Amino acid sequence: MREALVSLGDTDFDALGIEELVGLARDAGIRDFDELVCHGTGSVIEVEVGDRLDESRLDALEYVSEWDHVTATGDAHVYVIAFTAPSLSTEITDPMDDLVGTCDPSISDREATLSLVGPQAAIAGTIEEYEADGVSPDLRRLAGYSGHTGPLDRLTDRQREVIQTAYDMGYYEVPRTTTTETVADELGLDDSTVAEHLQRAERNLLTVHLDGNG
């Protein structure tokens, strides 16, 4: 497996069609950022900001399917936002499905960075599909994956957290003793987000054992 560190700048956000969403987050003062789910042209993100987002503008974004103001403390607000990049072709789904995940994302006033982890062909295919849509990821580093090599290490941190919680709560017992809704409540996530994490985690684990690539 390989790991590619890439960055996206403002022109790339414009090409993806998500520049206003990025601008809303920046205006509110980004503190932290995490990608909970990535599925082809869509994503579910968790963002912590210093001030509340301009929620009327957020509502007006047609490519944002849903959002939730999850928590608020004295000086921070956390949102979970589901959106689809309107200018990104669905052709990117095929190579991205072979990635373990898009890991450790971060966003600043100038750019977003993330690492693509998976087979080199999947990384190259993902970058090529971005470029075909006018997005020019800056490849900062391409190297052997520095993580562990056990099957569970093909999962992102969030995938592992979700599948471990589901396992501990009896989701994989026969008969099943819990539901995705209960697991979602335990983790403070949306039910559909938990289901998506479980599906991708299960696919990654099955790939190891059924394809013999463990």
pLDDT tens digits, residue range 191-207?
Answer: 888 888 888 888 777 76
pLDDT of 150-179, one tens digit each? 566 667 778 888 988 998 999 988 888 999
The reply to whether 12 and 65 lie within a common domain is yes
Instruction: Say if strands 2-9 and 64-72 run parallel, antiparallel, or are unpaired.
Output: unpaired
How much is the mean pLDDT over the chain? 86
Q: How many domains does the chain have?
A: 2
The confidence band for 56, taking pLDDT boundaries of 50, 70 and 90, is: very high
Show which of 89, 115, 144 is a domain's final residue. Answer: 144
Residue 192 sits in a domain whose CATH number is 1.10.10.10
Report the predicted TM-score, pTM, of the whole model to 2 decimal places.
0.70
Which DSSP letter does residue 154 get? G
Residue 62 near residue 84 (C-beta atoms within 8 A)? no
Query: Which residues span the domain enclosing 192?
Result: 151-210
Neighbours of 41 (CB within 10 A): 20
**To which residue do tokens 């990635």 refer?**
99
